[in-house]
Amino acid sequence: MINVQMIGRILFGAALGVSVAAGAQGPTVSKVEPPNWWGNSSVNPVRVLVRGANLAGATLECGRLACSNVVVNARGTYAFVDVTIPRDAATGAAPLTLRTAGGAATVPFSITPRLAGHGRFQGFGTEDVMYLLMPDRFANGDPANDDPAVSRGLLDRSKGRYYHGGDLAGVRQRLPYLKSLGITTIWMNPIYDNNNELNHKETYDNLPVTDYHGYGATDFYAVDEHLGDMATFKQLVDDAHAHGIKIVLDMVANHTGPYHPWVEDAPTATWFHGTAASHPNNTWQTWTLADPYSTPAMRQATLDGWFINILPDLNQDDPEVARYIVQNTLWWVGMSGMDGIRQDTWPYVPRTFWRDWMTAIKDEYPSLRVVGEVFDGDPSMIAFFEGGRRQWDGVDDRVDLLFDFPLFYPIRNAFAKGGPIRELAQMLSRDHLYRDPNNLITFLGLHDVSRFMSEPGATSEGLKLAFTFLGTARGTPLIYYGDEIALPGGNDPDNRREFPGGWSGDARSGFEASGRSADEQDLWSHLQKVLAVRAGRQELRTGTTEHLLVTDQVYVYRRGHTIVAINNGSAETTVTIPATALPADALGICAARRAADGGVAVTIPRRSGCIF
């Protein structure tokens, strides 16, 4: 007798590229990571992760490629396979065939052209001025992706924790604006695909939120549909390069989002530190990692805990997890041509992993640079994580740059709150702790802190002073989007307001001089001038620093042949600077005259700065 049900199963399976043997359930494939690779790579073989069902006992055939080292997890839902790619492999489709006792399934895979290195993978550093923007809040360039069908209902511009409609197309359209300001590098928050529904696991005031910020990944190999797709991202990178602007992308190797499919079905038993039902909570005690006297248990509590007791903590000591993260990093770089990486939550991942991860990056893209986030105001903590030297644990994590959180706090205190400017010089005096303090990113605002203009006592003149210091101090300056027009904003999410003019129908546009108030335009022009001076003077980018005068509210320092004088006080002051000729203030603010002692006397108006 003909089994009609069996015939139906065979026909249905054939339509999906699946063949089914009688008496057993055939394998299915739902996800392949990575979906492609390129020839002549430092990574070969590539470890491919196949997600599906009924994969137990699977073998793989790789056609014109070669397969080996197949491992299937206990539930038969994931298969790992090494795929060796010939150095001269032709580009195009290169599907694999997965076989089990129940049948066969096609595993989509392809070889893509390797991007040429010229003008790509450039790295970044003191020669640059960085600009941090959150794509969802910067500009809406493609209204068609505001409320995608696959994730309907997450758009609401009246709510700070919902999507607002900004996207990669909007960033691309505003490249001329950023170039005109003097920006040479854009850092964007993560663009991974995030949850397609409201997040009920991370709530505020008992209300669910969305993961518009990008830090709750559910697919590490896809761009969030609210922002665009990989083609859109690559176009942004290409266009940025055409404007002389580099792209740095935020990445997260410490954790996934709480809705990632792995949380319910992990590829290995040790993929995460614990499970959703039973896991350690993060203790935030990062000092234990630098402490040579802390116990392994103390350090482990910091490394293994789930952020805010919600974000699943990846176990980089699992070799499959480590390999996955390394390849995922290289895939984003190789597919886009981007120039650098900002790595989130740097201390919460084992330093041995970072060493290996950095080595893999440098093997494939030697010029690419990475900045790690160590959110700590203690310079000795920042110095512990600095790359280029081994610490007491015997590890050099090899990171290129770190954020200068220790300098951030006195910047805010002096220029926003009117505190003593002396604290800036005192913090810089601790630069002896660093192997190279030039490898620090200096800033006065980020997406994780309230904005400068929301500090008690903050004024636009104080912000101008902060920009003068930022543009002339050692390190690489970073501008947080909107600060150039004194955008206010309290704690998260208020500090992530939309950039005015980024949406059709906005009452005004901060992207245009005609849309800025007089104070905003004055601030914007001041920053533009400071950045132009920095760009024109190599010593402001790479020169040594020398303190000439430090009082509670007056700070004079030298970078090479350039002298910077800042008066943070409420009254005009006159200082004498060492100069053989009568200099002109590059900012046109201060007046200089010959002093009786042969030096140069500079009169600095209240809360002003000058560059000679």
Q: Go through the domains of the chain in sequence order and give each one's CATH number.
A: 4-110 (2.60.40.10), 130-265+316-542 (3.20.20.80), 545-611 (2.60.40.1180)
Q: Are the beta carbons of 251 and 358 closer than 8 angstroms?
A: no
Please choose, from the candidates 565, 563, 552, the residue with its C-alpha nearest in 3D space to the C-alpha of residue 426.
Answer: 552
Distance CA 543, CA 549 (A): 18
Identify the pLDDT of residue 22. 52
Identify the pLDDT of residue 24. 76
Among positive and negative, which fits the CA dihedral 458, 464, 469, 470?
Answer: positive
Distance CA 185, CA 55 (A): 45
Give per-10-residue mean pLDDT for the chain (612 aa): 35 39 82 98 98 98 97 99 96 98 98 97 99 99 98 98 99 99 99 98 96 98 99 99 99 99 99 98 96 96 96 99 99 99 99 99 99 99 99 98 99 98 99 99 98 98 99 99 99 98 98 99 99 99 98 98 98 93 94 88 98 98
Identify the pLDDT of residue 579. 85
Place of tokens 């002109």: 584
Identify the helix (H) or strand (E) that includes residue 519: helix 518-536
Most distant CA atoms of the chain, gap in Å = 115
Question: DSSP strand E in 180-329: where?
Answer: 185-188, 192-194, 199-204, 207-209, 217-223, 246-251
Mark residue 35 as left, alpha or beta (left: phi above 0; alpha: psi -120 to 50; beta: remaining): alpha
Identify the pLDDT of residue 597. 82
Distance CA 169, CA 65 (A): 36
Helices 351-364 and 319-336: crossing angle in degrees, nearest 10, is 40
Distance CA 548, CA 1 (A): 98
Please choose, from the candidates 595, 587, 47, 507, the residue with its C-alpha nearest in 3D space to the C-alpha of residue 323.
Answer: 47
Question: DSSP strand E in 224-345: where?
Answer: 246-251, 340-343
* Global pTM value: 0.95
Which tokens sit at 180? 């005109």
Distance CA 375, CA 373 (A): 6
What is the tally of helices (H) and strands (E) in the chain? 16, 30
The residue type at 568: N
Identify the pLDDT of residue 6. 35
Q: Are the beta carbons of 29 and 98 closer than 8 angstroms?
A: yes
Distance CA 474, CA 126 (A): 8
Please choose, from the candidates 135, 148, 159, 157, the residue with its C-alpha nearest in 3D space to the C-alpha of residue 209.
Answer: 159
Distance CA 348, CA 252 (A): 11
Q: Are the beta carbons of 192 and 222 closer than 8 angstroms?
A: yes
Which tokens sit at 345? 């939550």
Distance CA 412, CA 419 (A): 9
Q: Are the beta carbons of 314 and 321 closer than 8 angstroms?
A: yes
Taking CA 372 as the corner, what is the angle to CA 371 and CA 373, rounded to the nearest 5 degrees?
Answer: 125
Identify the pLDDT of residue 580. 80
Q: What share of the chain is helix, strand, coil (3-state, %, to 5)?
A: 30, 25, 45
